Amino acid sequence: MKRSTLLGLGALVALGAGASWALGSGDTIYVRARDTRVFKDPDGARPIGAPLQPGDKLVWIEQVKGTKFHKVKTAKGVVGYVLFNTVSATAPKTEVVVKQDGAHHIDAQASAAYGAAARGLTEESRKSAAHAPDPEAAQKAVEDLQRVEAVIAKKVKGGGR
Q: Which long-range contacts (CB under 8 A, 24 or more apart) does 115-121 make?
A: 116/34, 120/145, 120/149, 121/145, 121/146, 121/149
In the chain, where the domains are located = 23-88, 121-161
pLDDT score of 40: 96
52/112: higher pLDDT: 52
Least confident of 5-9, 104-108, 119-123: 5-9
Q: Which residues contact 66 (CB under 8 A, 6 or more apart)?
A: none
pLDDT at 18 over 60: no
- Residue 81 gets the label, from left (phi > 0), alpha (psi -120 to 50) or beta, of beta
pLDDT score of 14: 35
pLDDT score of 27: 94
Question: pLDDT by residue (tens digit) across 39-67?
Answer: 999 998 999 989 999 999 999 999 999 99
pLDDT at 28 over 80: yes
Beta-bridge mates of residue 74: 58
127/53: higher pLDDT: 53
d(CA 102, CA 99): 5
Q: Which residues contact 37 (CB under 8 A, 6 or more apart)?
A: 44, 47, 51, 52, 82
Helix residue spans in the chain (DSSP H):
3-20, 108-119, 123-128, 135-157
Helix residue spans in 73-134 (DSSP H):
108-119, 123-128
Smallest CA-to-CA distance from 70 within 53, 51, 87 is with 87
Whole-model pTM: value is 0.51
Smallest CA-to-CA distance from 89 within 7, 18, 16, 30 is with 30
Task: Round to the nearest angstrom and report the end-to-end CA distance of the chain.
Answer: 68
pLDDT at 89 over 60: yes
Q: Which CATH superfamily is domain 23-88 in?
A: SH3 Domains (2.30.30.40)
Band of residue 154 on the pLDDT scale cut at 50, 70, 90: confident
> Residues 94-113, buried b or exposed e (16+ Cβ, 10 A)?
eeeeeeeeeeeeeebebbbe
